[in-house]
Amino acid sequence: MAVRSLEKLRHPAVRDFLIILAFLALTIVMTWPWILHLRTATPGPGDPYLISWILWWDYHQTFHSPLNLFHANIFYPYRYTLAFTEHHYAIAVLCFPFFAMGLQPLTVQGIATLLGFALSGYCAFRLARTLTGSNSVAWIAGIVFGFIPYRFSQLPHLVYLWAASIPLLLEALVLFLRAQTRRRAVWLGFTFFLNGISSVHWLLMTLIPLALSALLFLFRNQGWRPRDLWRRGLVAMASAGVALLPFLWPYYRVSKLYGFVRNAEEAAFYSAKPIDWLVGINGNQMWHMMNDYARAPERELFPGFLPILLAVAAIFLIKPSPADEPRKKFGFRPWKHHARLFWLSTDFDFPCVTVDCSLCCCPRCPTFTGLPAGPQAPSQKKFPDLVAR
């Protein structure tokens, strides 16, 4: 029986499922005690309620009138009103079972936020494991990517927490460039489509890194000659692009109908400057005062010292090992080591899980009030009635 159990653990699907569970456990610890207050807690007074409605609307409209998904029940008589913001459709699809179970929109939004941390970490784990063949490197990469301090400053913005599609897409690209099979071409196209329907922001911002990564890999390995690379690769990407058109067309129409276009000044304001990478987030116990004078909205990017030191160590101190050697073990042994790295890699960011401390869900925070719904925000009980009007 023991031998059969070990054989089951070695199965890739079981192994990856256990890894996802591990990242879920880490998420619960890092955001504790949010898991105990999912029905009433919110990381902010504005965006979480909007996102809760978006997730509910995606679920509702998919089963009632999918062709009118973007003609939402807000801002009448305007058209394509869902395209006034991110549609969150891929995130909503994963949350459909929670709505089917009868959970309220605010609760589903909280679950989706926790899943965003865990799946971002897991997909970064997959990418690092594919690139290096090392489970140790993969654990460190997954923990750093999943729980980087910047994510905690973006708690109200679910779409930025759900960055799982980015490393998943890059991994699919690497796998396809290594072997241009039909199966891997389909996977590449699917992950590109998944990234596009997860976030319009991620779709646009990953196009250049994706292209540069492909060029770097091809020139480094002189792998641009196989005919299947271009034939299957182009078909996969073109198919994904066609599938994305119904989700992108409404944004084009909104830009033409109502002039919703980001100008150069807005782009410059929200673009990171070198000093932003040395600004600690407000909720961080250790680095919250770091370069406070340079603090700007959504540009607190300091990752902590440990990720930087680990990256430098990987470049200068680690000798390459045979490519097939690290793949022989699953990687349970590094757990004790990574349990210590886990707390350090995010620089103790876990006690306060909200940007707006007036709505903090941490009992140790002096502003914690138990998070009642409050008169300024719709209660959970009334929320479905509100979004249905």
- Tens of pLDDT, residues 3-38: 555 555 667 888 889 999 999 999 999 888 888 988
Task: Give the pLDDT score at 4.
Answer: 57
The one-letter code for the residue type at 359 is: L
Low-confidence ranges of the chain (pLDDT < 50): 323-389
Domain extent listing, the chain: 12-163+262-388
**Residue that is written with structure tokens 């009118």 in the block:** 68
pLDDT at 6: 52
Instruction: Report the b/e string of 219-257 with b at 16+ CB within 10 A.
Output: eeeeeeeeeebeebbeebbebbeeebeebeebbeebeee
pLDDT number for residue 7? 57
CA-CA distance, 142 to 26, in Å (whole number)? 11
- Residue 102, CA atoms < 13 Å, CB-side half-sphere: 1
Q: How far, in whole angstroms, is CA 211 from its chain's centroid?
A: 20
Q: At a CB cut-off of 8 Å and minimum separation 6, what does 108 contact? A: 52, 55, 56, 95, 98, 99
Tell me if 156 sits within 8 A of 44, measured CB to CB: yes
Residues 304, 146, 123, 313: what is their CA dihedral angle, to the nearest 10 degrees? Answer: 20
Q: List, for residues 360-372, the tens digit of each pLDDT value.
A: 333 333 333 333 3
> Are the beta carbons of 28 and 35 closer than 8 angstroms?
yes
Per-residue pLDDT at 121:
94
pLDDT for the residue 383: 30
The single residue listed with the structure tokens 């969150």 is: 88
User: Which pLDDT value is given to residue 52?
Assistant: 93
What is the rounded end-to-end Cα distance, in angstroms, of the chain? 57
